[in-house]
A and B are shown apart, each in its own frame.
Chain A
Amino acid sequence: MTKTAEPAGGPARRLSGPGAWFLVLPALIPILVLSVGPLLYGVLLAFTDAQSGRTDPTRWIGALNFRDLLHDTLFWESFRIGLFWAAGVTVPQFLLALGLALLLARELRLRWLARALAIIPWAMPEVVVGIMWRLVYNPDAGLLNETLRDLGLGDGRDWLSGLATALPAVVVVGVWAGMPQTTVTLLAGLQNTPRELHEAAAVDGAGAWRRFRTVTWPALRPVALAVTALNLIWNFNSFALVYVLTGGGPGGRTRLPMLFAYEEAFRYGQFGYAAAMGCVMVAVVSVLLAVFLAGRLTGGDDA
């Protein structure tokens, strides 16, 4: 922060020293106290036997929580569900969003309507999205079963409490809820595609698929990667949608890791153990993400 630091140029340089600190502190203090601090505190808690409402002091127990976690089949089952959910939501979300973005990039009528409709899932509270889809999935008065009955496809079923249907049913809601944001981001990325190249390729007789692969995709790839990585993390950590839709049921079939950890912490009061779960979640997500990004960044360059 010395004044002779890198030549950032112009008035910016005059902003070093106490002046900059004065501007930064109002945000920095809350970040340190309420974000960075708690995060470190949370990691430490994972190595203690902290419980809610206990009177005797919390003790260090080393890696005991993690050892217990290793043998906690329920947790790993929930973890597996979480991974299935994250991938099952992120991939269709991306493909559907890409399709819609490509459509919206053309001069079609009704574009404005699609844009307006895309706002709805994006702006809605997740709780309301969950409630709305419960109305759709409702076994008696629900839209889905009614449609099936009209089409003569049987009486339908109780989608959200069927052991086999619950997870796919919530995945559909996850896709619906996250699609618009992905679409808008991809659409913005599409606007960066060089138009002349597109036209030149068309003149050269390249078909739609070739034009997409050689012109559109290379320009879109950075945006697509970033948005997929973020979606993957967000989806893995998602909570409210499934909490409202199924509460983790039936029989734990939709119990995402976040729901599991929430129950552990705030229903059973096992703070230390739940913090250990959080740590494992961060670790696994980071590793997955690193693998995903590394694979894509190195492998896809000449595609």
Chain B
Amino acid sequence: MRTSKRVRAGQYTALLAYLVFLAFPFLWLLSTAFKPPRELASLHPTWVPRDPTLANFRQAFEEQPLLRAGLNSLLAALGAALVAVLIATPMAYVMARHRSRLSRAATGWVVVSQAFPFVLVIIPLFLVLKNLRLIDSVPGLVLVYVVWALPFALWMLTGYVRAVPVELEEAAAVDGAGKLRTLASVTGPLLAPGIVATGLFAFITAWNEFFFALVLLKTPEKQTLPVVLTHFLGAEGVADLGPLAAAAFLATLPSLVVFAVVQRRITGGMLAGAVKS
């Protein structure tokens, strides 16, 4: 198919417009993070800081307990990812391989859980966790995140399991391997990349999560990064822009890096999960 020059030019213009739209807020964040206060106060801000500085980063760490918050976020996200994958993988296996009422109910839950307004779930969860004395604690948050990450984890993992041919397992069974042996040495290794991708995705979701953390964590030393970031905002309009931008940029780095690694697998997994059984 030939495309005329004029159409081509139009396509490139459109693509360029998209690129600008997608990129400019992030570039502006970067630029703000490296600007000294004098330039931030200027009525004619520039794209590239004239006098780039790291002072904003230092100030950000002085103003808010960012390290502590980063550690909390890391614990919450790692805990949630590990537990979610650990309990979702066996269930996804059953859902993919064994058509039963239970599997159908679980699939139904996965879909319905997308429609909950969190507020309907968070009030009872708040009361339950309070009774368990898990409120205002990172382990309590991990519990919530695990359940919150489960629908998507199940969805993706079910797709990955389906992608492993049943015939392989049958062949192993014919060769005399037991069920556990088959799972460990045939299905497991083939599933491993999918499990890792799912875990990393759960990590990002938990690392980025704000609403549950805002409601459940009250003590400043226990709060996660997104919650601590909002402390920079202070009263309307008086936010200290430099340190705010610096802290926001730092908080984004881990999820950006992880996401860049798994993006391809995640989109693949979403589609795999969508394949009709």
Q: Which residues of A approach B to under 8 Å, CB–CB?
A: 1, 5-6, 8-16, 19-20, 23-24, 26-28, 30-31, 34-39, 41-43, 45, 96, 99-100, 103, 106, 108-110, 113-114, 116-129, 131-136, 138-143, 146, 149, 158, 161, 176, 179-180, 184-185, 188, 199, 202, 208, 226, 230, 233-234, 236-237, 239-240, 243-244, 247, 249, 257-258, 261-262, 265-266, 271, 274-275, 277-279, 281-282, 285-286, 289
Interface residues of B in 1-35 (CB under 8 A from A): 1, 3, 7, 11-12, 14-16, 18-19, 21-26, 28-29, 32
A248 to B32, CA, bound (A): 25
Could you say which residues of chain A place their CB within 8 Å of the CB of B144?
34
Q: A27-B87, A27-B90, A233-B115 are in contact. Are A125 and B255 (CB under 8 A)?
A: yes
- Whether A103 pairs with B14 at a CB distance below 8 angstroms is yes
Q: Total A-B pairs in contact (CB under 8 Å)?
A: 299
- Does A278 contact B32, Cβ atoms closer than 8 Å? no
Among the listed A27, A38, A119, which residue makes an inter-chain contact with B150, where contact means beta carbons less than 8 Å apart?
Answer: A27
* Least distance between A133 CB and chain B CB atoms (Å): 6
Q: List 18 A-B contacts (CB under 8 A).
A: A9-B166, A24-B106, A39-B124, A114-B19, A119-B260, A120-B26, A120-B256, A127-B229, A131-B229, A131-B244, A139-B237, A141-B41, A158-B237, A161-B236, A161-B237, A202-B1, A244-B230, A275-B123
Query: What residues of A have a CB within 8 angstroms of the CB of B270 in the complex?
Result: 185, 188
B94 near A146: Cβ-Cβ < 8 Å? no
Docked pose: A229 CA to B59 CA in angstroms: 44
The distance from the CB of A65 to the nearest CB of chain B, in whole angstroms, is 13
Chain B residues whose C-beta falls within 8 Å of the C-beta of A127 in the assembled complex = 208, 210, 226, 229-230, 248, 251
Q: Are B143 and A30 in touch, CB under 8 angstroms?
A: yes
In the complex the two chains form, is A16's CB within 8 Å of B239's CB?
no
Q: Which residues of B contact A106 (CB under 8 A)?
A: 3, 11
User: Of all chain B residues, which has the CB nearest A140?
Assistant: B43
B residues less than 8 Å from A31 (CB atoms):
106, 109, 147, 150
A199 CA / B1 CA spacing, docked (Å):
7
As a 0/1 sequence over residues 167 to 204 of chain B, the CB contacts with chain A under 8 angstroms (1 = contact) are 10110010000010010000000000000000000001
Nearest Cβ on chain B to A261's Cβ, whole angstroms: 4
A127–B212 alpha-carbon span in the complex (Å): 13
Q: Is the CB of A132 within 8 A of B28?
A: yes
Closest to B110 in A: A31
Tell me if B150 and A114 are in contact (CB < 8 A): no
* Residues in B whose Cβ lies below 8 Å from that of A14: 179
Given known pairs A27-B88, A239-B118, the reply for A126 and B208 (CB within 8 Å) is: yes
Q: Which residues of B contact A19 (CB under 8 A)?
A: 179
- Which residues of chain B have C-beta atoms less than 8 A from A134's C-beta? 233, 239
**Please, how many angstroms separate the alpha-carbon atoms of A125 and B207 in the complex?**
8
B99 touches A8 (CB 8 A): yes
Q: Which of B42, B87, B215, B274 contacts A141 (CB 8 A)?
A: B42
**Identity of the chain B residue whose Cβ is nearest the Cβ of A99 in the assembled complex:** B14
